[in-house]
Amino acid sequence: MTEFIEQIIFSFIASVSFGIILNGPRRGIFFGGLAGTLGWVSFWAINRAIDDLAISNFVGSVVIGLICIVLSRKLRLPVITLNTPAIVPLVPGGAAYMAVRSVVEENYMASVNYMMDVLWTAGAIVLGFMVVKLIENEITARRLRKQEKLKSR
């Protein structure tokens, strides 16, 4: 239980800190941290259950994307100001560092393995955001078609 609380606290601090560094809107910094925390908790729980980085990162980025879209509409902020700091806990910085370090140490096989982890993780994050954006676009298009249909009557 202590590890879970640590994960929550540090993911929130990472997201909020990055929001401050990026000079995001003040009213969105807390909510970006909240979205990052919820995304990280979903990633962490799924990764502990099934031990698959790609699926865990995909689900984490979908959670972040959905939360950021809802919050951006409520707060009247651009989605990018919320999801950029929120995605920070999912970014595979440790694996990227280890890949570069392995190259410097001339351990090329380890470097390739780390880079594959980075690519899978980054691809899963991007795919998660794409799925959320496609869903949002479809919902918006259906809403507009419905409004046009009502106007034409």
pLDDT one-digit tens code per residue, 55-99:
999 999 999 999 999 999 999 999 999 999 999 999 999 999 999
The answer to whether residues 95 and 121 touch, using CB atoms and an 8 Å cutoff, is yes
Helix (H, G, I), strand (E, B), or coil: what is residue 153? coil
pLDDT one-digit tens code per residue, 93-151:
999 999 999 999 999 999 999 999 999 999 999 999 999 999 999 999 999 998 888 88
Q: Which of 48, 44, 59 is nearest to 14 (CA)?
A: 44
Residue 23 backbone phi and psi in degrees, to 5: 60, 45
pLDDT one-digit tens code per residue, 4-25:
899 999 999 999 999 999 998 9
